[in-house]
Amino acid sequence: MKTADRLNNFDAYLGTAMNLILTKMRAEGKDVINLGLGDPDVMPTKMMRETLADACMDPGNHHYPSFYSPMPLKEAMAAWYKKNYNVTCDSDTEVLPLLGSADGLFHIHTCLLDPGDIALVPDPCYPAYVAGVTIAGGKIETLPLLEKNGFLPDLEAIEPAIAERAKMIWVNYPNNPTSAHAPDDFYPRLIEWAHKYNVAVISDNPYSEICFDCYRPQSFLQFDGAKEIGIEFNSLSKAYNSCGWRTGMVLGNPDIIAGMAKIKSHSDRGMFYPLQVAAREALEGPTEFMAERNRMFQDRRDVVVNALEKMDIKLYRPKATFYVWARVPEGVEISKDWCFKVLDEIAVWMIPGSMYGQYGEGFFRIALTHPTDRLAEAMNRLGNFLTGS
């Protein structure tokens, strides 16, 4: 059976294939430490779990999600943005719940791109951006995220002829995979540029609540002129330790929100209602747990960063996300080959930077998704590997 030609234009997500490889290695008795998967070893709060369980036990909560009004959840999402960022969004026209933000990452391309339309995509980036543009029939123009620029796109380097034809631009800060954050002047400059060329800004902000060292990430939407030109995705997955729940949101420009809602009226019937109840409770509930959770990630970051610095690995200490982005050792030319060699010899898996694009070559990413003692063990193995001891 012949499948669509577009399937030849992008790669499958490496993480899925790696899970099978790592599972097989564990079955063979190898003590694998997986530092690739961005799925932390934390869980939703007891309140969230109990709310979900109680809602599941209610026999009236198991209709199609479209049976219930989405307004209470949309109002909670709007209130959360007001509380966190002082951003005012109309819950009826400027907020849309998603089945995880990944749901929106794919649909946004169908919403904005006709075949052949240009999308400005950062490199390195979360691979779903590339796949989404390709599946929608769009054309990718790459925005290199270079270390010398703080892994920010150089807006002035975008050729005017390209900018005038572009329909959308992706930004993602705090960033996956580089863990870079946006300085105070970045979003105002981006908004001015986007208005000049009438390019929709798509901000992906799922790591907004994972931050350290007194740093507080910003929202694209909190800056003047943002809602007129773009939207922002966010999610409970990272903020509320609920990756498997698939509870996300998109807020911002009402025309884009209406287009997304129209697509989703066909693609799904909305979020499972008990999840809506639990998500609403979380967004309206206490957030004290986040400070302790973030201290835990900060301790893990320090274990990894300090160890890598002793190995003369070049990197910077991230202020947000639970990732560490580092240069491969001197003399290594192909990050993928090196990461697989590390896996084969010491059973530690780290994601090669090339998985995230051509400008990711020369780097690797570590996810801080294990306790400190396990991370220390992984770093000890890596140090011995590098010294040949």
List beta partners, residue 168. Answer: 119, 200
Q: What is the pLDDT of residue 283?
A: 97
Do 348 and 231 lie in one domain? The reply is no
Phi, psi of 23 (to 5 degrees): -60, -40
Do 145 and 268 lie in one domain? The reply is yes
Do 273 and 382 lie in one domain? The reply is no
CA triple 202-232-152, angle to 5 deg: 55
The CATH number assigned to the domain holding 249 equals 3.40.640.10
Q: How many helices (H) and strands (E) does the chain have?
A: 13, 12
Q: What is the pLDDT of residue 260?
A: 97
Domain stops at, among 284, 314, 329? 284
Residue with tokens 């910003």: 218
Alpha carbon distance 301, 184 (integer Å): 24
Do 78 and 201 lie in one domain? The reply is yes
Do 164 and 312 lie in one domain? The reply is no
Mean pLDDT, rounded, for 158-181: 98
Alpha carbon distance 31, 34 (integer Å): 10
Do 52 and 28 lie in one domain? The reply is no
Q: Percent of the chain scored above 70 by pLDDT?
A: 100
Do 375 and 239 lie in one domain? The reply is no
Residue 13 has pLDDT above 80, yes or no: no
Residue 15 has pLDDT above 90, yes or no: no
Q: Is 386 helix (H, G, I), strand (E, B) or coil?
A: helix
Residue 182 has pLDDT above 90, yes or no: yes
Do 147 and 267 lie in one domain? The reply is yes
- Domain hosting residue 349, numbered range: 5-44+288-387
Alpha carbon distance 326, 346 (integer Å): 19
Q: Is 210 within 8 Å of 202 (Cβ atoms)? A: no
Cα dist. 35→15, 118, 350 in Å?
A: 11, 34, 5
Q: Is 249 helix (H, G, I), strand (E, B) or coil?
A: strand
The CATH number assigned to the domain holding 343 equals 3.90.1150.10
Residue 16 has pLDDT above 80, yes or no: no
Alpha carbon distance 108, 253 (integer Å): 12
Residue with tokens 């900060």: 298
Do 204 and 352 lie in one domain? The reply is no
The number of folded domains in the chain is: 2
Computed over every residue of the chain, the mean pLDDT equals: 96
**pTM confidence score:** 0.95
Domain stops at, among 226, 255, 284? 284
User: How does residue 388 score in pLDDT terms, banded at 50, 70 and 90?
Assistant: confident
Domain stops at, among 262, 284, 306? 284
